[in-house]
Chain A
Amino acid sequence: MLKMDIQKVDLFYGEFQALKGVSMPIQANKITALIGPSGCGKSTLLRCLNRMNDLIPNVRIQGTILLDNFNIYEPGARVEDIRKRVGMVFQRPNPFPMSVFDNVVYGLRVAGNFNKSFLAEKAEKSLKAAWLWDNVKDRLRDSALDLPLDQQQRLCIARLIAVEPEVILMDEPCSALDPIATAKIEELMNELRASYTIVIVTHNMHQAARVSDFTGYMLLGEMVEFGVTSEVFITPKDKRTQDYISGKYG
């Protein structure tokens, strides 16, 4: 089932065109990976999916992105609602300088939920879903900045899960982590797939091959190839994809 659909999206940073007629389907409860050399527009495309590019001055976006058949770039669309439905995990773990608990329930509080028992229940559930509960259950009041990096990143995932998004966008979520922590996040993604639709940007082809169901290969702002991950990696149709995957590129 189609969760999101990117249709012929162009994006300009001022004069510079960073996305050129990009189209890509995003299937529900699957992991879709975006790969490609640095600077090809992966993050830019990802940030289109929850309208984070709106925050950057002088950005112009054309085209359609459907979320459950609703165009999120429709003039009347409520950006805050879209961002609640399509959440994001950033490249560097970025917990707020608050306690672990305050971090997890941040999204709930800004949405106007202040009921203590509700928040506590949600925090526990979200931390469990992010496999962090056992690490932090005795230190919910400690500063989140004191956690090790990989726990910080899982805290960010918990913080996102707490607002019950439908789609989770991850922009190179493991680039600050060591291989063991990376493996753990990948395993977690695999489990989250059952409840969420995931789009992950990675510069690590092996990671894309390991975790994703679908893969899109981007180059210079264009979607060069998109398909089922195994096919993209084993029998790429485009010459440029072949070069990239066999390591001839960059």
Chain B
Amino acid sequence: MRIPPRVAQTVARVVLGAATFFTVAVLIFIIGHVLVKGIPVLSFRFLFSNPEDMGRAGGIFPTLVGSVLLPAVALVFAVPLGIGTAVFLTEYTRESKITAAIRFGADCLAGIPSIIFGLFGFIFFVTVLRMGWCILSGGLTLAMMVLPTIIRTTEEAIRAVPYAYREVSFSLGATRWRTVWRVVLPNALPGIVTGIILSLGRSIGETAAVIFTAGSSLRMPSSLFDSVRTMSVHFYILAREGISSENAYGTAAVLVLAVLMVNGISYWLMHQFMKRFS
């Protein structure tokens, strides 16, 4: 028996609509729940004062600093390395088995659970290199975690730059390096920045990889070799150990707002990118 097209159309609309509604509803529920419970806790004092009694009272300032420093260290390492790799793969090599293998490796790395990175970071940076739990160990671990994302988004952005631009640049006597620097990268920039911001969002929210490598000290760090606790780790500990659900929600709200902000900026940049090429 054939289903009349009109009926099929209606059914499809209803089913797909329901799926969309469900997705959006879950999303709104989660974010709404966290914000509704967390925002009342937020205050200037909460953000900028030190925690007291393991976080049962006081604010979250050191963890806020941790959540800024760790992703920052990660990006300082991952951005130049990732962009360099992407430029090399796209502009300086011809497609071959080796570039395909590198790309495949990057894609695999991107799919590995973050706790594996945490474990590796713990063994390699914390133990073998004797760096201990510290901002640098954590930042380097996060850098490895986001590197594949940066490489792949940069590659895509570079590929989207029309070949004609390179051709003209070469025809005017520019070297490959100058062409990359003055034409390819500027035109790929919005796409590259989008990738960086996605990585930023991911490393701000990361918990598993960080708790193993940066530790969970609540003291204010004074150097890159001090242990630090990020907001996500703080939230995890507050909630898990049942220390303070109120402050846990407050921390979670700050985290959610930060990630929303970062993603918002990313969307805006993506939009600028589209505008430029249409």
Interface residues of A in 22-60 (CB under 8 A from B): 50, 52, 55, 57
Q: A110 contacts B178, CB within 8 Å?
A: yes
A96 with B171, Cβ < 8 A, contacts A57-B94, A106-B182 known: no
Q: Is B216 an interface residue (CB 8 A)?
A: no
Q: B173 contacts A107, CB within 8 Å?
A: yes
Contacts of B168 in A (CB 8 A): 90, 94, 96, 156
Contacts of A160 in B (CB 8 A): 172
Contacts of B183 in A (CB 8 A): 96
Q: A110 contacts B165, CB within 8 Å?
A: no
Contacts of B179 in A (CB 8 A): 110
Q: How far is the CA of A92 from the CA of B173 in the complex (A)?
A: 19
- Of chain A, the residue at the smallest CB distance from B175 is A80
Q: Which of A81-89, A146-154, A181-189, A212-220 contacts B (4 or more CB under 8 A)?
A: A81-89
Q: How far is the CA of A96 from the CA of B178 in the complex (A)?
A: 14
B184 to chain A minimum Cβ distance, whole angstroms, is 11
Q: Is A122 an interface residue (CB 8 A)?
A: no
Q: How far is the CA of A125 from the CA of B167 in the complex (A)?
A: 24
Contacts of B1 in A (CB 8 A): none
Q: Is A63 an interface residue (CB 8 A)?
A: no
Interface residues of B in 159-175 (CB under 8 A from A): 164-165, 167-175
Q: B167 contacts A163, CB within 8 Å?
A: no
Q: B167 contacts A83, CB within 8 Å?
A: no
B48 to chain A minimum Cβ distance, whole angstroms, is 43
Q: B interface, by DSSP: helix, strand, loop or mixed? A: helix
Q: B170 contacts A52, CB within 8 Å?
A: yes
Contacts of A111 in B (CB 8 A): 173
- B164, B173, B178, B276 interface centre (most CB from chain A within 10 Å): B173
Q: How far is the CA of A219 from the CA of B135 in the complex (A)?
A: 69
Contacts of A106 in B (CB 8 A): 169, 172, 182
Contacts of A107 in B (CB 8 A): 172-174
B232 to chain A minimum Cβ distance, whole angstroms, is 40
- B164, B172, B183 interface centre (most CB from chain A within 10 Å): B172
Q: How far is the CA of A18 from the CA of B165 in the complex (A)?
A: 25
B173 to chain A minimum Cβ distance, whole angstroms, is 4
Q: A83 contacts B165, CB within 8 Å?
A: no
Q: Is B187 an interface residue (CB 8 A)?
A: yes
Q: Is A137 an interface residue (CB 8 A)?
A: no
Contacts of B174 in A (CB 8 A): 80, 107, 110
A92 with B164, Cβ < 8 A, contacts A57-B94, A110-B182 known: yes
- Of chain B, the residue at the smallest CB distance from A47 is B171
Q: How far is the CA of A65 from the CA of B228 in the complex (A)?
A: 66
Q: How far is the CA of A110 from the CA of B173 in the complex (A)?
A: 8
Interface residues of A in 149-180 (CB under 8 A from B): 156, 159-160, 163
Interface residues of A in 103-160 (CB under 8 A from B): 106-107, 109-111, 156, 159-160
Q: How far is the CA of A50 from the CA of B170 in the complex (A)?
A: 10
- Of chain A, the residue at the smallest CB distance from B173 is A84
Q: How far is the CA of A87 from the CA of B170 in the complex (A)?
A: 10
Q: How far is the CA of A111 from the CA of B174 in the complex (A)?
A: 7
B165 to chain A minimum Cβ distance, whole angstroms, is 6
Q: A109 contacts B182, CB within 8 Å?
A: yes
Contacts of A90 in B (CB 8 A): 164, 167-168, 171
Which residue of the partner chain, among A52, A57, A81, A159, contacts B167 with CB atoms under 8 Å?
A52
Contacts of A84 in B (CB 8 A): 172-173
A96 with B173, Cβ < 8 A, contacts A57-B94, A106-B182 known: no
Contacts of B170 in A (CB 8 A): 52, 55, 83
Q: How far is the CA of A109 from the CA of B182 in the complex (A)?
A: 9
B247 to chain A minimum Cβ distance, whole angstroms, is 49
Q: How far is the CA of A88 from the CA of B164 in the complex (A)?
A: 12
Q: How far is the CA of A97 from the CA of B179 in the complex (A)?
A: 14
Which residue of the partner chain, among A55, A81, A83, A92, contacts B172 with CB atoms under 8 Å?
A83
- Of chain B, the residue at the smallest CB distance from A160 is B172
Q: How far is the CA of A57 from the CA of B163 in the complex (A)?
A: 14
Q: Which positions in B face A, CB cutoff 8 Å?
A: 94, 164-165, 167-175, 178-179, 182-183, 187, 276
16 further A-B pairs in the complex, CB-CB below 8 A; given A110-B182, A160-B172: A52-B167, A55-B170, A57-B94, A81-B173, A83-B170, A83-B173, A87-B171, A90-B164, A90-B171, A94-B164, A94-B167, A94-B168, A97-B187, A109-B182, A110-B175, A110-B178
Nearest first, the 3 A-B pairs at minimum CB distance are A84-B173, A107-B172, A110-B174
